[in-house]
Amino acid sequence: MTTVTKYKTTPLKCWQKGKELRLEAYRDLATGHEQGKLMVLGCAATPYGMLAGLGDFVFLAGEPYGASVAADPPVSIPAMETYEARGYARDMCGYMRNFLGTMFQDKYYFTGGPFPKFDFAWSVRHCPAGHPKWHQIVSEYQGIPMNYIDDETMLATDGEQQSRIDYVAGQYLDSIEWMEKITKRKYDDEKGIEAMRNYFINEGLWGEINLLNGAIPAPLDIKSMFALMPISMLRRHEKVAIEFLTELRDELKERIANQIAAVPTERYRMCMLTPPPWSFLKVFRYLENYGVVFVGTYVYLINSGEVKFLYDKGTVVPAIPPEKRPGWKTMKNREDLCRTVAQWRAEHPFQSHLETRKKEYVIMFKHWKANAYLLLINRGCVPMTTSMYDFQRDLNKQGIPTSMFEGNFADCRDIDETGVLDRLETFLEGQGIQKIQD
Amino acid sequence: MITAGIDVGAKTIKVVIVKDNKIVARSINPTGFEPLETAEKTLNEAAKQAGISRQDIKKIYATGAGRKNIPFADHNVTEVTADAKGTNYLRPSVRTIVDIGAEEARGISCDPSGKVLDFSKNDKCAAGAGAFVESMSRALEVTVPQMIEFSHKSTKDAPINATCAVFAESEVVSLIHSKIEKADIAHAVHDAIASRVSSMVRRIPIEKDVALIGGVANNTAIVEAMKKHLGVDVVVPENPDFVSALGAALLAAA
């Protein structure tokens, strides 16, 4: 046991507002049709602001929904068993298994009532490990049409950038026609452009909020960050999200100026690359007993958030909306909208090549002034585990300490909590970090 | 100063008492279902052996899987830290430690002072640990000492490909039905464990000298197999199953 100097701490002033906005989004998903809104399903990375051209809508991003279910084992386990009983494999995407399980049970997690019926599924391909298959299953089960944008450009080389953008922009244009046809609604370009402008601003704000955690002491802990993230994840196209995220950003700046810490005993800073095991978020609170604060995770810096990496300088700065970037056009019509979205996504760090990601991981480690990375070998997500040992080796070569554990971000049956804590305790002991005396 | 280290392992509890940096007693008992009682009993036995009373012991450090369940310990340390300290005391030239216990195996890289630089551990799997040897000896209907003896007499390689203890057991059963000699199966079992542990240990830098500790280090067939798979000589300190407890006792004295 050891003692450390404590920083002052206070709860976030905007916490309650954030909580209400989050719940409002989840409630909307249950009552979308009653409110006359279109109900659309897709991946969280989809530029769903474009849907606003069809009128009011509710977008259910499958990943955050799956994560919410996964965080609640008494609901998650029966849901996954329902999914498995239908013959689907247990090694598929963990989010998908939770989502489909509750759909087959006809239980919407946030209300306990019937599972939402969608008008259609529209999504970027996002995750090659099974997300298109996920929406295909929903499409067949609910009898709804689906349309996919093939923009998985991460592995393409820079020389092909322009043809990639043409290819993806063309698909967006086609998909708008497709949406008009299946909904029998006329697409309003202005509304689509306006909502995407909000979307870009919110991405930049969320990225900036993540970057503010480079301050010592960190103004925001990762668990609170996860709780507020659904606003940027699910409501990126709305002005209300801009208002909230601006308020949160300003409050964090105020906390930094006044040295108000998220974790008063902060003395060791860790960050992650991936989502956490959602059923095991208590690990972050437990490690606060050691004075460990988790300052961020790379994946949510660039998924529902955007930043600009300056590779030559080895730094990172907040992203500005595309239309304000040098050489970018102002969106005036549907073609501009589709091209801007395609180009924006092609240049977004979300699409970074794995080798570029290694540089970004180091930049973020330095920006966050972290002491170590916690790495997850995730049995519930193949793409987010791909190259993890390579990443670890690379980080270690650069003198960055890492602790790696095996588990599953969305299946509580697949994580040995005691073993993980033991591993982390061993790692921290090696770093000279002992439990703090109360 | 007299200190004690208690290693609360999955299968056995070990106690080492150190007086002025010298080992004065060792004691070991099966953990059983009442680890706290067993720890008390083992500590008392060690104290008796050292010719001291419990009150003479100034500090007690616990380590091992059950280290947090010893309320009379002054502090607890992880096995990795204790292993490094204990090995450094016994063999200061060792830089890589492989600890194979009943349920867990780990590789540790340490500096000349015994400070841990890096470590790797197996996850949720006993295929690379002592419990697996015992399980396979039951499948072969021999005791563990007999299995070691058989293994040294092996003349042919038999394949066990599974990395999972459950599947490996069914492979052993298949080999028995294929009339493969017990000696060759026993050898294959040890080889499979060494292969699995070695691949895990390679996640950390392997620097000479390499030591094998933990209860499984008493198994000479495993020692031979580890030498083969790691491609280096492996030293086994005296009383390898007590190294963690020794490390805890030394840390208590520090």
Tell me: do B122 and B201 sit in the same domain.
yes
A429 shares contact with chain B (CB less than 8 Å): yes
Query: What would the mean pLDDT of B218-247 be, rounded to a whole number?
Result: 95
Q: Which parts of chain B fold into alpha helices (H)?
A: 35-50, 79-90, 130-139, 144-152, 165-177, 182-201, 220-230, 243-253
Q: Which residues contact A271 (CB under 8 A, 6 or more apart)?
A: A294, A295, A296, A297, A298, A364, A365, A368, A370, A373, A374
| Contact list, B79 vs chain A (CB under 8 Å) | 426
Does the reported pTM lie above 0.95? no
What's the length of chain B? 254
| Contact list, B203 vs chain A (CB under 8 Å) | 389
Tell me: do B97 and B85 sit in the same domain.
no
Tell me: do B110 and B196 sit in the same domain.
yes
Question: Which of the 8 DSSP states describes residue B11?
Answer: S
Structure tokens at A124: 């970027």
Tell me: do B112 and B174 sit in the same domain.
yes
| Contact list, A425 vs chain B (CB under 8 Å) | 78
User: B185 to chain A nearest CA, in Å?
Assistant: 31
Tell me: do B87 and B97 sit in the same domain.
no
Tell me: do B244 and B219 sit in the same domain.
no
Domain that holds residue B223: 93-236
Which residues in A111-134 are b (16+ Cβ under 10 Å) and which e? eeeebbebbbbbbbbbbebbbbeb
Tell me: do B165 and B248 sit in the same domain.
no
Tell me: do B102 and B28 sit in the same domain.
no
- pLDDT tens for chain A, 438 residues long, are 566 778 999 999 999 999 999 989 888 888 999 999 999 999 999 999 999 999 999 999 999 999 999 999 999 999 999 999 999 988 889 999 999 999 999 999 999 999 999 999 999 876 766 787 899 999 999 999 999 998 865 555 556 778 888 999 999 999 999 999 999 999 999 999 999 999 999 999 999 999 999 999 999 999 999 999 999 999 999 999 999 999 999 999 999 999 999 999 999 999 999 999 999 999 999 999 999 999 999 999 998 899 999 999 999 999 999 999 999 999 999 999 999 999 999 889 888 888 899 999 999 999 999 999 999 999 999 888 888 999 999 999 999 999 999 899 999 999 989 889 999 999 999 999 999 865
Tell me: do B60 and B144 sit in the same domain.
no
- What pLDDT, on the 0 to 100 scale, is given for residue A3? 63
Say yes or no for a CB contact (<8 Å) between A423 and B121: yes
Structure tokens at A327: 């050489």
User: B164 to chain A nearest CA, in Å?
Assistant: 16
Segments of A154-228 assigned E as strands: none
| Contact list, B124 vs chain A (CB under 8 Å) | 406, 416, 419
Closest Cα in chain A to B65: A422
Q: How far apart are the first and last CA of chain A?
A: 9
Domain total of chain B: 2
C-alpha span between A240 and B175 (Å, rounded):
68
Say yes or no for a CB contact (<8 Å) between B78 and A426: yes
Angle (CA) A155 A158 A163, round 5°: 90
User: B115 to chain A nearest CA, in Å?
Assistant: 8
| Contact list, A405 vs chain B (CB under 8 Å) | 123
User: B40 to chain A nearest CA, in Å?
Assistant: 23
Provide the 10 A C-beta neighbour count for residue A347.
18
C-alpha span between B201 and B132 (Å, rounded):
18
Closest Cα in chain B to A414: B124
Q: Which parts of A89-130 fold into alpha helices (H)?
A: 94-105
Tell me: do B208 and B150 sit in the same domain.
yes
Tell me: do B133 and B247 sit in the same domain.
no
C-alpha span between A45 and A303 (Å, rounded):
7
CATH number of the CATH domain containing B202 = 3.30.420.40
Tell me: do B47 and B130 sit in the same domain.
no
Task: Sketch the domain layout of chain A as residue ranges.
Answer: 15-430
Contact status, residue B128 vs residue B196, Cβ threshold 8 Å: yes
Say yes or no for a CB contact (<8 Å) between B79 and A423: no
% of chain B at pLDDT higher than 70 = 96
